[in-house]
Structure 1
Amino acid sequence: MQVWGLHNDTLTTELTEENFVSLSWDTINDLSQIPGGREGLKAELARITPEERHKAIPT
């Protein structure tokens, strides 16, 4: 069995009640609109967060 822990900085039940996960990338809205799967997401994160270290993006 695999279990994921979701952490939220707000003490509400919004995430479970509304069935979504908040990733805190405010500049990316709908992940399904990013082509290329995981590699596409990494490329988009590198584009919108140029201040991040190159090795920080994959993790």
Structure 2
Amino acid sequence: MAIDDANDNAGVPGECPEHEWKVHGIYLRGTGASMSVECKWCGAIQYEPSLSDGT
């Protein structure tokens, strides 16, 4: 977690009271689909693997 995650200023760009994820990208493959999500407060991006990733 970043230092700004402790801030209570909800809605201020670059400050994150708590990650609130929204879909950033969807990746289709022959074995399934995965996606990435982005926090609407701080812009952090996280990859969400599909069940078929790693098999």
Q: What TM-score, normalized by structure 2, do the two folds share?
A: 0.22
Which is strand-richer, 1 or 2?
2
Q: What TM-score, normalized by structure 1, do the two folds share?
A: 0.21
Structure with more relative contact order (C-alpha pairs < 8 Å, separation 6 or more) = 2
